[in-house]
Chain A
């Protein structure tokens, strides 16, 4: 199975910061990488697919990028509503595997 190492596990950020969450794949995944946001008591919501494409209705302050086998989710000037847990998912090979999650708190 492909391992997705997600970091950090948690972070607290201010509304003026740029937040970056990373996922490093244990092997190449050809940009079959998506990002999800999950709020307490809710199902995950797709933010980014194919590593860099913004899902419908997602604010443009969210963006995705890749450097080698490391994928990043960036939130520019986050809003209080962006608090939650973020997960990456690789779907390059079966079984698809999620990162362990990053809990984001906005202060």
Chain B
């Protein structure tokens, strides 16, 4: 069974950084692109970015490119999202997903709240 489990969310002050993790199991992690999607409270889905199998290609939505960094550790079957200079507009549930032409598998999400 494919399983994606995000962690690392919580309350963070404006301007600070936070790193999210996504532990993958049930499939060959190093065979797939992986991605991050977020959802602000009561809002729609926003694609953040994606990373290919060997980390040689990483794509971001332009508005987040300078704040967020996606990485992965294939030995640990784990995807990461490093977020910096956080603002209230970054308050959202953050989902990891097995990427590709469609997102067949999603994690349960982790809530990040940016507030003083």
Contact = CB atoms under 8 A, between A and B. Distances in A.
Interface string A42-83: 111110011000010000000000000000000000000000
6 contacts: A44-B103, A46-B103, A46-B104, A95-B61, A98-B45, A101-B45
Given A36-B103, A100-B44, 7 more contacts: A36-B45, A43-B108, A49-B102, A91-B102, A95-B47, A95-B62, A97-B47
Interface residues of A, number: 24
Interface of B: 44-47, 49, 59-62, 95, 100-104, 106-109
Nearest to A49: B102
Contacts of A87: 44-45
A43 B6 CA distance: 12
Nearest to B95: A43
Contact of A98 (B44, B49, B101): B44
A4 B77 CA distance: 33
Main secondary structure of the interface of A (DSSP, over half): loop
Contact of A95 (B59, B100, B101, B102): B59
A96 B60 CA distance: 10
